[in-house]
A and B are shown apart, each in its own frame.
Chain A
């Protein structure tokens, strides 16, 4: 299967323009025989929204613009990032990712970990998601994460424990640190986690970051795919826009799990009981 990472620079606050970019790239990906196309976090809106969140929010199940995107996924799967406001929760805005396959919304993940420190202020403007839930797709079981979710490794563990063959993380990660090579030093943090999670979950890890500049902040790009066992399947450009077509062999999950029996020997019930004890104790 070909995984396409659309490493774009969304236009801040302009859903119409970004939707056009997404539709064009979906078409381009189809021509490259992509099975999965991954767009970055808040790709339909841009990242530094602040009070603009309410102007760009949409309900994925009823919004005609989103319906255009969904309709364009006939024969392939795609992950898209947007600001979600559902009719059941008016006035609550989520930083969300939808997994869309063959003209149907399969799952919507709402970002759980909203960074709010230093240059980040997501919890000022977004409501917090409350669960991690893996789901079945045409090519296997998938778990979605959004940016900071991925840096809390318990989130990947939940997807792993629920049988995910692939963890897809979409991101708008700013670059920091210019003392290294021809990429921001923070890129290492993401790859380190990607390599480790793919290794010890014997699963694919797809990380799709954005590029471009907003309010002086440069987004770092450097998207990547790790195959099970920490094998780098390919990476996109640092800082520059890219359209990375990365072929992967989905059978690698089964092979990795025959070689390394982490998954067979995993004991989520022990983890669960231990965590429960810790949480109970902290509540006493």
Chain B
């Protein structure tokens, strides 16, 4: 397992991170999508502490009447944290699109919905003058379990260096309600979907393999010798490699002596 975190210290670092990175841009407001799941709940709690609850807007964006429990959990969490909330049903625009361009692919429909939510978040961030707080955790980022330009899109990401099992530790410390902490993690792309069912590994096992490969710098054979099933290690390695494109800006064809992305190199916080 990834090592236990000191959640009190992690909270302090992440709250300072949100406050400073937004503050540099003269911004005090954050916005995020609330799914009723663990990651967005933790992120909302961190945002509320960093910026003040009234400066955080949680958008709950269900598809029609689906997942009513998650909508309720998200709304309850927002109330509990004292952050502002709004519910936007994304089914009208999704239905219009798929009526014209039908598909049987659940993944394609799910990705389209994730990108619709992204589009609404960016529109609202412009209306509000707020920054989007990202909710992708380290486990998801490493195996690419997210929609590029969808739920992975954000201005800053306070969660991205915490494995899922570490997010759970932080959630308990932040007193996220048990109803949210105990539910099976899901991307919510279709009914009955669970992360662990789709990935084929429990988060405990997945995190242990990832931690060995990433922080432990283990080779495949070392990970297997550490007691993991070869098929599981191979699946994780495949997922990591296949999703590198989601963690990077797209390559730019180099022509000139000094090119964007190659040798025109400035800090993200440039001029802020």
A residues touching B (Cβ–Cβ < 8 Å)? 9, 12-13, 48-52, 124, 175, 178-183, 212-216, 218, 239
Contacts of B8 in A (CB 8 A): 182
B12 contacts chain A at the CB level, 8 A cutoff: yes
Number of residues of chain B lying within 8 A (CB) of chain A:
23
Question: B6 contacts A49, CB within 8 Å?
Answer: no
Contacts of B6 in A (CB 8 A): 178-182
B101 contacts chain A at the CB level, 8 A cutoff: no
> Contacts A179-B5, A213-B21 given; 20 further ones with Cβ under 8 A?
A9-B20, A12-B270, A12-B272, A13-B271, A51-B266, A52-B267, A178-B5, A178-B9, A179-B3, A181-B9, A183-B9, A214-B267, A215-B267, A215-B268, A216-B17, A216-B156, A216-B268, A218-B17, A239-B12, A239-B16
The residue that A50 contacts in the complex, of B10, B12, B13, B265, with Cβ under 8 A, is: B265
Question: B264 contacts A12, CB within 8 Å?
Answer: no
B69 contacts chain A at the CB level, 8 A cutoff: no
Q: Which residue of B lies closest to A12 (CB)?
A: B269
Rounded to whole Å, the gap between the CB of A217 and the closest CB of chain B is: 9
A51 to B264, CA, bound (A): 7
Contacts of A216 in B (CB 8 A): 17, 21, 156, 268
B4 contacts chain A at the CB level, 8 A cutoff: yes
A12 to B272, CA, bound (A): 8
Contacts of B21 in A (CB 8 A): 213, 216
10 closest cross-chain pairs (CB), A and B = A179-B3, A213-B20, A50-B265, A48-B267, A215-B268, A51-B265, A178-B5, A178-B10, A182-B9, A12-B269
A214 to B17, CA, bound (A): 9
The residue that A49 contacts in the complex, of B13, B17, B267, B272, with Cβ under 8 A, is: B267
Q: Which residue of A lies closest to B13 (CB)?
A: A218
Q: Which of A50, A180, A183, A213 counts the most chain B CB atoms within 10 A? A: A213
A212 to B21, CA, bound (A): 10
Q: Which of B8, B9, B270 counts the most chain A CB atoms within 10 A? A: B9
Contact with A along B88-132 (1 / 0, CB 8 A): 000000000000000000000000000000000000000000000
A41 to B13, CA, bound (A): 21
Rounded to whole Å, the gap between the CB of A44 and the closest CB of chain B is: 16
Rounded to whole Å, the gap between the CB of A116 and the closest CB of chain B is: 13
The residue that B270 contacts in the complex, of A52, A181, A213, A218, with Cβ under 8 A, is: A52
Question: B9 contacts A12, CB within 8 Å?
Answer: no
Contacts of B16 in A (CB 8 A): 213, 218, 239
